[in-house]
Amino acid sequence: MRELDINQLNDSIQRWIRDYINAANANKVVVGLSGGIDSAVTAALCVKALGKQNVVVLILPCESISADIEDAIMVAKFLAIKYEVIDLTPVYRNFLQNLPQKWDSNVLVQANLKARLRMVTLYYYSQMLTKCLVAGTGNRAELAIGYFTKYGDGGVDFEPLGLLYKSEVRALAKTLEIPKKIIEKLPSPGLWPGQTDEGEIGLKYDTIDEILYRIDNNIDFKGLDKEKVKKVEDLMKKAVHKLNTPPSYHITQE
């Protein structure tokens, strides 16, 4: 894995956030706090880059477990920033009841709906506040293999952690003095009980990081499990449509 000066990385990302916000003629950001490490680090970076008065923190439970809500509140209090808890559970259930066809047995469809309701809420606040952008919380591993909901948690204006491996996010969290409980917590989107990133993906983040690092730097896969390498490569291929701008038909003269 690459060796980075984490303190320098910390400063560089904060500067990048400021430059990006200024270039977009904005002055505020809104961040959804999940109670996990990625959103905690993103919020902390935005607070340090822009000042807590310019960062809006939303906690958006949707049939979420109480522990995740409590952890998100803990992070907001750690950052000494105002936060708002908006329970999307009633909206989500009402939405399902009003659909012409019920998908009660499709857990993934329902989970993606939760993520998209959160995205809608974040953008509602962003537009109401004016000159405000939505900060994404995805890391390099999640984005590369498509472990996010299209137009859900993937529907954002910028991704401060988008090119950082999970191990680097952890190192950054320590530099930012994010509470230890959050750093050591098993990553999970919190979309259904017992869900974890690594359990759903079927691979450890350290393994994904190593494979991606070698792909990014054109290094052979010597010593790595071939099946795991193939799995990551297959996931990356399937995720292409999530990462690219929707294609349009090009008119050609025949």
Poorest-confidence range of 97-111, 122-136, 148-162, 182-196? 97-111
Q: Are 75 and 40 in contact (CB under 8 A)?
A: yes
In a domain, 252, yes or no: no
In a domain, 232, yes or no: yes
- Best CA proximity match to 121, nearest among 85, 150, 149: 85
Q: Are 62 and 117 in contact (CB under 8 A)?
A: yes
Distance from C-alpha of 221 to C-alpha of 60, rounded to nearest angstrom: 40
Q: What is the mean pLDDT of residues 136-145?
A: 96
In a domain, 1, yes or no: no
Domain tally, the chain:
1
Q: Look at residue 221 in the predicted model and tell me its pLDDT.
A: 96
Q: 134 forms bridges with which residues in the sheet?
A: 30
- Of the chain, the percentage scoring pLDDT greater than 70 comes to 98
pLDDT above 70 for 103: no
Instruction: Report residue 142's pLDDT band, with 50, 70 and 90 as the boundaries.
Output: very high
Enter the tokens of residue 169. 């996010």
In a domain, 238, yes or no: yes
In a domain, 200, yes or no: yes
Give the model confidence (pLDDT) of 177-227 as tens digits: 999 999 999 888 777 777 888 988 999 999 999 999 999 999 999 999 999
For 246, half-sphere exposure in the C-beta direction (CA atoms, 13 angstrom radius) is: 2
Enter the tokens of residue 58. 């939303």
What average pLDDT does the chain have? 94
In a domain, 50, yes or no: yes
Distance from C-alpha of 151 to C-alpha of 141, rounded to nearest angstrom: 18
Q: How far apart are the first and last CA of the chain?
A: 50
Q: Look at residue 105 in the predicted model and tell me its pLDDT.
A: 67
In a domain, 175, yes or no: yes
* Cβ contacts of 186 within 8 Å, gap of 6 or more: 196, 197, 198
Q: Look at residue 98 in the predicted model and tell me its pLDDT.
A: 86
In a domain, 251, yes or no: no
Q: Look at residue 74 in the predicted model and tell me its pLDDT.
A: 97
Q: Look at residue 63 in the predicted model and tell me its pLDDT.
A: 94
Q: How many residues does the chain have?
A: 254
* CA dihedral (39, 44, 46, 47) positive or negative: positive
Q: Give the domain range for residue 97.
A: 6-243
In CATH, what number is assigned to the domain containing residue 123?
Answer: 3.40.50.620
Instruction: Report residue 104's pLDDT band, with 50, 70 and 90 as the boundaries.
Output: low
Q: Look at residue 193 in the predicted model and tell me its pLDDT.
A: 74
Enter the tokens of residue 49. 């880059």
Q: Look at residue 192 in the predicted model and tell me its pLDDT.
A: 73
Q: Which amino acid, one-letter code, is at 162?
A: G
Continuous H helices in the chain = 6-23, 37-50, 66-78, 89-97, 107-129, 140-145, 166-175, 180-184, 197-201, 205-216, 226-238, 240-243
Q: Are 118 and 152 in contact (CB under 8 A)?
A: yes
Enter the tokens of residue 230. 């193939």
Q: Look at residue 196 in the predicted model and tell me its pLDDT.
A: 84
Distance from C-alpha of 233 to C-alpha of 229, rounded to nearest angstrom: 6
pLDDT above 70 for 247: yes
pLDDT above 80 for 153: yes
Residue with tokens 């038909």: 249
Instruction: Report residue 6's pLDDT band, with 50, 70 and 90 as the boundaries.
Output: very high
Q: Which amino acid, one-letter code, is at 231?
A: K
Q: Are 118 and 60 in contact (CB under 8 A)?
A: yes
